[in-house]
Amino acid sequence: MDGIWKYFATRQLAALIAGSFALIFAVTAAAQPAAKGKPKVYVFSFVKADDVSTVVFNKVEQYFSTLFEMSSKLQIVTDKELKKEQTQKAVEEKRKTTTVSEPWLEEADDLLWKGKDFLVKKAYGDAIASLTQARDLYEEHYLELRDYDKLVDATLQLSISFFMAGYKDDGEELLKDVLVWRPTLAVDKKKYPADFMNAIERLRKQMEKRKGGVLRIEATSADGARVFVDGLLKGKLAGDQAGIDVDGLYRGRHYIQVVKDGYKIFAKKVGVPKAGRTSKVVAELVQLEQQERTAGSELEQLSFDVFQYAKTGDFGVEFSRKAKDFADQAQVPYLLFGYVSKESKGTKLTLFLFKADWSALAEVEPASFDENLTNLQVNLLFLEANLAQALKTFPKERTVRGIPAVYVKKVEEPKVVPVPVKTETPEKVATPEEKTPPVKVVTPETTVRVTPRKVEKEEPVLPSRTNRDEELGELSSIFAGGDDDNGNAANPYAVPSKIPGGEDDDDDNGKITGKWWFWTSIGVGAALIGGGSWLLYDQLSGSDGGSKYNATVRW
């Protein structure tokens, strides 16, 4: 325990010492004569991220203003000085981003600050009384009100005061109005009671089910007119676009403003129709008289326009043109914008410096503060040094075009806890890369069956034994191939020598030497040869017989 107490005591002592040095430095710088040639910088009101506490935001902006107004490195141009430089006759009128001269607005702002102080001091009764008066003044003068965040803030602080005092029903009624105007409201859970935080979540769920229909907003002389709902820019009208449709609003009371240069501001309280229906509002814009359009009012209008871009971080071409016009008329070379955002371990202040000669915007090295703002004064001194360096050498490498990254709210994806799943062997499914080969269908070839032509074999005509004069007779079987030694046909196409069932079926097993006609033929042949030989001999020998020739016939 002693170690823990020593740690906290050391930390608080270090913060106290650092704050003392910062205060001494600031007082010393203020006591010194102003250096000549200090760059003039016009500072716009800071912009707060949705998740930044209002108390933290106000403290950061207040400390910044106090320190930088006493800076020896640059000259902060106030609205009062600016208007004096423009014209001595300019009348202070309403402005959204800086202090204005209307008595009712000054009174309302003062009551709002007092109410917050009472709330911090836990004087809830005094806080309720002061914040109620501030809220009533803002609502009463809604036609002239430029900064509707003041109305939202007064209503929210009043709701918190009722909750802290134990009047939860009254607090919830006021909280409904706040959610109607700012559905994405974010507050620090650590600084407010659980009943208040639970009421926000419960009311938001109820109102999500009661979203209204379409709000159609049109305007006469619409070219260039800007449409605001509850102080938030919803669109810009053009010559060919006389109106815009706004949807997704919660049902309840809303404030519409249509603003155009050289025209009186149109403002009206409206309700949102039921889902599926459309309600139309036509803004009749009235042109200002020439004498009303003084240099001061035109400059205020430009200041209002420039701040609208700074609220959303839309630092594009239109912003550069408007900022350049404002800087030229105000005769200031630099414009300064601040954005207070939430970090994981505290708060960060990012400055954006606009150089009129170049019509360029650059991000200054930001400053971070811990959760309790114990290092606020020290780190603001470092931020002052960074800004002085940027004024001396404009950081072209940090030029901003469009919406800066710090304006974009990071959404953390919910962590997905894997659930164990019983694994089963899945059936293999053919992937696009592994397509199952198609089944090849084999078409059977058409077989043409050729029916062989039936050849009718002619039965061999055998010579009849009763007709011996027929040519060759049964000798035709010899020339047809005959039979082999086993009685089989040597030529398959030959006519068998022995006809089954014939007359010679029993003659010497069918051999030709056993045939009567074989030996008859032999005899006839021998007789013919012998007779022929005799005749030839007789012709050759002549009448003398064998006197001249001698012929021998051998058999």
Query: Cβ contacts of residue 546 below 8 Å, gap of 6+?
Result: none
Q: What is the pLDDT of residues 277-316, one digit of tens each?
A: 999 999 888 887 654 445 556 778 888 889 989 988 999 9
> Based on the domain organization, do 115 and 166 belong to the same domain?
yes
Q: What percent of the chain has pLDDT over 70?
A: 65
Q: At residue 16, does pLDDT exceed 70? A: no
- Label residue 220 by pLDDT band (50, 70, 90): confident
Q: Name the amino acid, one letter, at 117.
A: D
Domain boundary among 358, 386, 408: 408
Cα–Cα–Cα angle for 41, 42, 43, nearest 5°?
A: 110
In a domain, residue 438? The reply is no
Concatenate the DSSP letters of all residues of 358-427 into one string.
Answer: TTEEEEPPPEEEETT-TTHHHHHHHHHHHHHHHHHS--GGGB--BS-GGGSPPPPPPPPPPPP-----PP
Q: At residue 127, does pLDDT exceed 90? A: yes
In a domain, residue 21? The reply is no
Residue 478, pLDDT score: 45
Q: At residue 31, does pLDDT exceed 70? A: no
Task: Report how far residue 349's alpha carbon sits from residue 531's, in angstroms, rounded to the nearest whole number.
Answer: 158
In a domain, residue 127? The reply is yes
Tell me the CATH number at 110.
Answer: 1.25.40.10
> Based on the domain organization, do 483 and 554 belong to the same domain?
no
In a domain, residue 449? The reply is no
> Based on the domain organization, do 199 and 303 belong to the same domain?
no
- Label residue 101 by pLDDT band (50, 70, 90): low
Q: At residue 338, does pLDDT exceed 50? A: yes
Tell me the CATH number at 74.
Answer: 3.40.50.10070
Q: At residue 555, does pLDDT exceed 90? A: no
Q: What is the pLDDT of residues 524-539, one digit of tens each?
A: 777 777 776 666 666 6
Query: Cβ contacts of residue 395 below 8 Å, gap of 6+?
Result: 362, 363, 364
In a domain, residue 51? The reply is yes
> Based on the domain organization, do 131 and 198 belong to the same domain?
yes
Q: What is the pLDDT of residues 146-168, one digit of tens each?
A: 889 999 999 999 999 999 999 99
> Based on the domain organization, do 86 and 111 belong to the same domain?
no
Residue 96, pLDDT score: 44
In a domain, residue 340? The reply is yes
Task: Report how far residue 481's alpha carbon sits from residue 461's, in angstroms, rounded to the nearest whole number.
Answer: 16
In a domain, residue 415? The reply is no
> Based on the domain organization, do 370 and 303 belong to the same domain?
yes
> Based on the domain organization, do 303 and 279 belong to the same domain?
no
Tell me the CATH number at 241.
Answer: 2.60.40.1120
Residue 217, pLDDT score: 92
| Exposure class string for 17-32: b at 16+ Cβ within 10 A, else e | ebeeebeebbeeeeee
Closest CA to 154 of 54, 257, 270, 267: 54
> Based on the domain organization, do 101 and 205 belong to the same domain?
yes
**Contact of 41 with 336, CB cutoff 8 Å:** yes
For residues 346-366, average pLDDT: 93
> Based on the domain organization, do 139 and 161 belong to the same domain?
yes
In a domain, residue 463? The reply is no
> Based on the domain organization, do 203 and 215 belong to the same domain?
no
Domain boundary among 160, 183, 209: 209
Task: Report helix angle 317-330 to 79-86, nearest 10.
Answer: 70
Overall number of domains in the chain: 5
Residue 188, pLDDT score: 80
Domain boundary among 233, 256, 289: 289
Its domain, for residue 109, covers 97-209
For residues 422-444, average pLDDT: 52
- Label residue 390 by pLDDT band (50, 70, 90): very high
Mean pLDDT score of the chain? 75
Q: At residue 482, does pLDDT exceed 70? A: no
Tokens representing 417 are 């806890």
Point out the least confidently predicted range of 48-62, 131-145, 319-333, 452-466: 452-466
Closest CA to 292 of 330, 264, 257, 259: 264
For residues 123-136, average pLDDT: 94
Q: At residue 499, does pLDDT exceed 50? A: no
> Based on the domain organization, do 305 and 343 belong to the same domain?
yes
Cα–Cα–Cα angle for 329, 331, 336, nearest 5°?
A: 100
Task: Report how far residue 9's alpha carbon sits from residue 410's, in angstroms, rounded to the nearest whole number.
Answer: 35
Concatenate the DSSP letters of all residues of 101-167 into one string.
Answer: --HHHHHHHHHHHHHHHHHHTT-HHHHHHHHHHHHHHHHHTTTT---HHHHHHHHHHHHHHHHHHT-
- Label residue 254 by pLDDT band (50, 70, 90): very high
Residue 330, pLDDT score: 86
